[in-house]
Amino acid sequence: MINTPLRAIGISAVFIFLLPCFHAMSEEAAPAIIPLPLSMQVAPGAFSIDAQTALIAPDAAHTVATYLALRLRKVSGFKLPIRTRRVHNDSTTIVLRLAAGTEADTGEEGYRLSVRSGQVDILAATPAGLFYGVQTLLQMLPPDVHAPNPPRLAPGELRLPQVEIADRPRFSWRGLMIDVSRHFFSKQQLKKTIDAMAMHKLNVLHLHLTDDPGWRVEIEQYPKLTSVGAIGDRSNPRGPARLFFSKDDIRDIVEHARQQHILVVPEIDMPGHAEAAARAYPEFFDGEKTFNPANPDTYQFVKNILTEIMGLFPSGYLHFGGDEVRDHLWADLPEMDSFMQEHGYTSLHEVEEHFDRFVSNFIAEQGYTPIGWDEVVAFDVSPKTIVQWWLHLRPQARDQAIAKGHRIIISPTNYLYFDYPNAVGEPGAPWEGNDNGPNSLELIHQWEPVPDSYTEEEEAQVLGLQANLWTEFITTNDYYEYMIFPRLSALAEIAWSPKGNKDLDDFKKRLEVQCRRYEAMHINYRTPGEWPSDFTYITN
């Protein structure tokens, strides 16, 4: 993905010409779109989807057209044929257009959406842009359109208000991380999450696949990673269940995400946070939970695993972790002295650097983009490495990454850790960010993630934002959803909508409608005060 620094959107001359008249006519209620589009003008009038409505799309947009047709067929029962051009008896049409050169207006992922009484037009430079236009269109319909098995709506309900929208994202990386190691979450739960992400125009699902409690992805060359390493979770360390994704599961998740323009980015956390792998293959570890960088065979083990991972995840990104390498037993390893002598190292810091540099360079040599948590910025890792800033108490790591020329993803604990409580006294993780209070919906929505002091060039190094759901304490699907929703709406709005004042009251009004959509999707979103009082949750 290419990050385009925010520029004033170039709206076409036609569009500018229309603005005054739309504005003058407009006292219409705006549809409740989340994230808020860059510009939206509403006028009296509507487009009604009926039995004669056809979709017109070029072959290159056929996948998006099919997605829209299926969604609309489910709620309407209409045929909604897809054609490459209009025929004379099409009374109303929804036209999807891909126009090269439109990027000047819309960027790679933006779109223009125009609804008139007889025709809807969505114009974009890419299928992703059309897909986001379709998401906006779906949010103009009743919330039930988001149900997996929606009820049949009456024809009169399938009305789109007359609007002109020009929209494009602020950031190209709009992500959510799910930790499936501490507690495992099923393929079905991830697909449900992907569907909800698509509705929010988010585009990266980062899977934290490995950590101390469990290794959650099949690796053919090392079957014990799952036959041993996938046993149990943080609540039940001895299992008995083996909890992991087979390669077919992963392909299924990746394809489900791909159809909705979401990249799945795998994380294999190393050299620390690896106790599950150490249980399976202790010969490559330090006797506890950290890879052994002094054993030359460890590097082949790492290469073989990462090669299988790259074969499974076509996203082009591979996160190698690199965080919290501490409490290791490296100093006690019999081969460490000679390893350090051989390389002229005088500290274990240099040993850690050696490992991270090897891994990041290997990933980059394979044509993938390495990603590491912000600890890696202390090292001379591949310059291609994207640095993910997480610890809010360490803003200097973020700034150092920028100064060294890395691209960064912004994920600080005190805003974007969704395992932290929504409000005082509510469930959530008791560590890092809690000293700054809960990560409320309001706090996230009102936050400007890029420091004011950044120059335009520095801001262009900010790829985007990502929220993280660590699951030490999150044991059920209901709890998982309670922590993500509706904060995901606030994330979407700061990741997509333009920089600047964000109207919290207006957001909350739109959120009321968004919550009806969550209900249609059977999502257990948080309603303040409704956490079951008899629920006991683990906090250590």
What are the catalytic residues?
211, 273, 324
CB 407 within 8 A of CB 398: no
Question: To the nearest whole angstrom, how small is the minimum distance from the Cβ of residue 490 to ligand ACM?
Answer: 20
481 near ligand ACM, judged by CB under 6 A = no
Tell which one of 248, 255, 283, 324 touches ligand ACM (CB under 6 A).
324
CB 348 within 8 A of CB 339: no
Whether residue 486 is preceded by a cis peptide bond, meaning omega within 30 degrees of 0, is yes
320 near ligand ACM, judged by CB under 6 A = no
CB 466 within 8 A of CB 206: yes
Question: To the nearest whole angstrom, how small is the minimum distance from the Cβ of residue 104 to ligand ACM?
Answer: 38
Question: To the nearest whole angstrom, how small is the minimum distance from the Cβ of residue 540 to ligand ACM?
Answer: 17
Tell how far CA 229 is from the center of its chain.
27
The two tokens of residue 274 are: 């690896």
User: Considering beta carbons, is residue 390 or 496 the nearer one to ligand ACM?
Assistant: 390
Question: To the nearest whole angstrom, how small is the minimum distance from the Cβ of residue 336 to ligand ACM?
Answer: 25
Question: To the nearest whole angstrom, how small is the minimum distance from the Cβ of residue 323 to ligand ACM?
Answer: 4
User: Considering beta carbons, is residue 36 or 467 the nearer one to ligand ACM?
Assistant: 467
435 near ligand ACM, judged by CB under 6 A = no
Q: Helices 187-199 and 127-139 sit at what angle, rounded to 10 degrees?
A: 80
CB 170 within 8 A of CB 7: no
CB 370 within 8 A of CB 358: no
Strand pairing partners for 204? 175, 263
Question: To the nearest whole angstrom, how small is the minimum distance from the Cβ of residue 288 to ligand ACM?
Answer: 17
Whether residue 142 is preceded by a cis peptide bond, meaning omega within 30 degrees of 0, is no
Three-class DSSP category at 486: coil
User: Considering beta carbons, is residue 267 or 286 the nearer one to ligand ACM?
Assistant: 267
For tokens 């919906």, name the residue.
Answer: 441
The helix (H) or strand (E) run that includes residue 252 is helix 247-258
Q: CA-CA distance, 506 to 30, in Å (whole number)?
A: 11
Name the pairing type of β-strands 159-167 and 39-48.
antiparallel
User: Considering beta carbons, is residue 245 or 390 the nearer one to ligand ACM?
Assistant: 390
User: Considering beta carbons, is residue 324 or 342 the nearer one to ligand ACM?
Assistant: 324
DSSP track, 116-136? -SSEEEEEESSHHHHHHHHHH
CB atoms within 10 A of CB 13: 8
Question: To the nearest whole angstrom, how small is the minimum distance from the Cβ of residue 134 to ligand ACM?
Answer: 34
Window 355-414: residues binding ligand ACM (CB under 6 A): 373, 390
Three-class DSSP category at 437: coil
Question: To the nearest whole angstrom, how small is the minimum distance from the Cβ of residue 430 to ligand ACM?
Answer: 14
User: Considering beta carbons, is residue 39 or 434 the nearer one to ligand ACM?
Assistant: 434
Strand pairing partners for 121? 95, 114
Question: To the nearest whole angstrom, how small is the minimum distance from the Cβ of residue 110 to ligand ACM?
Answer: 31
User: Considering beta carbons, is residue 233 or 374 the nearer one to ligand ACM?
Assistant: 374
CB 351 within 8 A of CB 291: no
User: Considering beta carbons, is residue 114 or 471 the nearer one to ligand ACM?
Assistant: 471
User: Considering beta carbons, is residue 328 or 510 the nearer one to ligand ACM?
Assistant: 328
CB 46 within 8 A of CB 72: no
Residue count, binding to ligand ACM (CB under 6 A): 4
Q: Nearest residue to ligand ACM, using CB? A: 323
Count of residues for the chain?
540
The two tokens of residue 420 are: 């932290």
Please give the order of strands across the beta sheet that includes 92-98.
39-48, 159-167, 111-115, 119-124, 92-98, 53-56, 82-83
Tell which one of 323, 352, 356, 419 touches ligand ACM (CB under 6 A).
323
Give the footprint of ligand ACM on this chain (CB under 6 A): 323-324, 373, 390
